[in-house]
Amino acid sequence: MQTTSHSFKRPKADLSILELLALQFPNADAAIAETARLAAVQTLPKGVVHVISDIHGEDKKLQHVINNASGTLRPLVEDMFAGSMSPTELEEFLKLTFYPAEVTKRVGETLTQPDEIRSYALQMLMPQLELLRYLVSNFSLRLATNLFPAEYQELLLEMMHAPSTERGPEFIGAILDELVRRDRALHLVHLLGRLIRNLAVDELIIAGDLWDRGPRGDRVMDYLCLQPNVEFIWGNHDVLWLAASLGHEAALCTVLRVSLRYRRIGQLDEGYSVPLTPLEHLARTVYADDPATYFMPKGQGMRPNEIVARMQKAAAIMQFKLEGQMIERNPHWELGHRRLMHRINHQEGTIEIDGQTYELRDTFFPTVDPDNPYHLSEEESACLARLKHSFLNSQKLQEQMRFMVGHGSMYLKRDECLIYHGCVPVDEEGNFLPITIDQKPVSGRAMFEEIETVVRRAVVNSEQADLDFLWYLWSGPRSPLFGKDRIATLERDFIADKRPHHESKNTYFSLIHETDFCDKVLREFGMEPEDGLIVNGHVPVKVEAGESPLKRSGKAITIDGAFSEAYGDYGYTLVLETDRIVLAQHSHFESVEAAIRDGVDIIPQVQNIRVYNSPRRTGDTERGQRIGFRIEMLERLIEAYRENRLHERPVVAKT
């Protein structure tokens, strides 16, 4: 007779939790077997973690860096097969490993005869299976097989045991014959290639700034959403786009302005179905006679440069007006000095900033009322209403933002690394600076965790105060995602004198060269200072100028390697391996087509950051801590069964 595991004779509060666990492990033996399995998993090599920051819309380069596992797959393949493959065969196998979908599609168009397809599939499947066995050996079998394509999971498990004494060539041959007959042989090769890539990296962490500068932030997110285990640490560009997606008008205008400046229009109209027609209409009517000389976009496109420049200027003026309104309704930010529109002297053609008067190089303000400079004109209001409707109703944009927030946080701890995007705001003496959230000042770790609460609340409720706070995270002086005293957009656009263009960095960025300060930050976040390493992006490392990503303290590293072509076209991946921490520096990536056609690859320069005396195991990591907590719960479940506080049930065998 089938029974439940509940015991109503002696109910206790802790049994409610154990009853849920008992649904998965219905008797003591099932629980004991699981504790034994988990204890063994703790001894396995820790999973390889890759950390990439500041992608800034470079979708094709990111795709290749993920596909070649930040350069770690090539040396593994070469070590395993250099003795059994010719250089040509090795190159073809690497192409397949990096781009299984594209390569198998090309092969399918080239090879038409069943015997040719069978021969190619056999040639590729055997090394694929050997590589798969090696990668799976570093995982628990349950975790690895969870990544197997569901329809082929059992078949792949069978194939992994071949060849063997009992399973000769005819075993794989029979499988291939059936797959070729059903036109699925190349499909299996494709799936195995994708599986190998997925197993090469246990966890992918994106340390902020997915959008802006590069061409297609939407495609960056498309590809990241396909990864089996990805986590996001939010950057200031990410929260800007999040605020825009939720209808925050100042953020929305900023997103438009930056996209137009770098002529990254495709991600809006094609990627997110946000037509720029309303803004173009404003540019062609209200700004029709404006030369907009200082707003010319970077790069070329279908729209004339003059039109794009006027569109950018129109978005910028709306941004400055809306920011002024927002600063006025948030006096606790103490940003009154950054309300600049009313400081323009239209008769003199000057502006006053921080007590200094500067000449304006552009004095054409057709939508600005000098008596009410923060008021949107009728034309601007109509334009903004239509654009806001498009942002709010873009299904793809909304889905991507919810994915980013749902898989994201302000900081992560992995191994000995404390990872966040920007900084921990401090004063000149290194004391943590507070910001006010929900009427209370918070600083340090508490600031990061309270920000997470506001971000998630903003997605659910979209209250004005929370959306305004997302904008503050984008460019506020005490935002840990920004870390500067101002963002001098208006100054750079309208003032030739470079003095007011300067943006001062928070003291954090100089103090991380000092060991004592790094130790203080690590302790604040619950890390052991002796072995801890602070990892942040946000500030591009000037590679060409000889700047080092590793700070003088040896306890902090910046992994913003100017991934975007607009910043320098390099890029870093921090790779947390079992026996070392490695920084891989990426160079320019030509194209996916060149990678498939010519085998073009990004072979990174590798620098050891930390080398460990003995390999780290799963039990040494955050995953190991979670496993330890699970073992404790299972031991409580076993005790409950033995004390008859819960009734045991038989395990139902799978059929």
Please tell me the predicted confidence (pLDDT) of residue 467. Answer: 98
The answer to whether 308 touches 297, Cβ cutoff 8 Å, is yes
Across 72-92, b (16+ Cβ under 10 Å) vs e yields bbbebbeeebeeebeeeebeb
Please tell me the predicted confidence (pLDDT) of residue 11. Answer: 60
State how far the alpha carbon of 509 is from the alpha carbons of 222, 400, 499, 532, in Å. Answer: 33, 31, 21, 18
**Mean per-residue pLDDT for 190-207?**
94
pLDDT value at 285 more than 90: yes
Q: Which two tokens stand for residue 594?
A: 């060149």
pLDDT tier for residue 13 given thresholds of 50, 70 and 90 = low
* Calpha distance 149→192 (Å, rounded): 9
- Identify the three-state secondary structure at position 64: helix
State how far the alpha carbon of 198 is from the alpha carbons of 69, 140, 259, 612, in Å. Answer: 9, 15, 32, 25
Nearest CA-CA partner of 163 in 175, 153, 171, 155: 171
* Calpha distance 181→494 (Å, rounded): 68
* Calpha distance 199→396 (Å, rounded): 28
State how far the alpha carbon of 553 is from the alpha carbons of 532, 548, 549, in Å. Answer: 12, 12, 11
Q: Report pLDDT digits (tens) over 199-255.
A: 999 999 999 999 998 899 999 999 999 999 999 999 999 999 999 999 999 999 999
pLDDT tier for residue 626 given thresholds of 50, 70 and 90 = very high
Q: Report pLDDT digits (tens) over 18-34.
A: 999 999 999 999 999 99
**Mean per-residue pLDDT for 442-460?**
97
Please tell me the predicted confidence (pLDDT) of residue 655. Answer: 54
Q: Report pLDDT digits (tens) over 503-525.
A: 999 999 999 999 999 999 999 99
* Calpha distance 337→381 (Å, rounded): 25
* Calpha distance 380→222 (Å, rounded): 32
**Which positions ≥6 away from 372 have C-beta within 8 Å?**
none
pLDDT tier for residue 407 given thresholds of 50, 70 and 90 = very high
Q: Which two tokens stand for residue 63?
A: 């795709």
Q: Mean pLDDT across the chain, nearest whole number? A: 92
**Mean per-residue pLDDT for 98-118?**
92
- Cα atoms in the 13 Å half-sphere on the side-chain side of 353: 22
Who wins on pLDDT, 487 or 566? 487
What DSSP letter does each residue of 615-655 carry, written as one string? --BGGGSHHHHHHHHHHHHHHHHHHHHHTTSS---PPPPP-
Q: Report pLDDT digits (tens) over 420-446.
A: 999 999 999 999 999 999 999 999 999
**Mean per-residue pLDDT for 47-70?**
91
Please tell me the predicted confidence (pLDDT) of residue 1. Answer: 45
Place of tokens 């196998």: 93
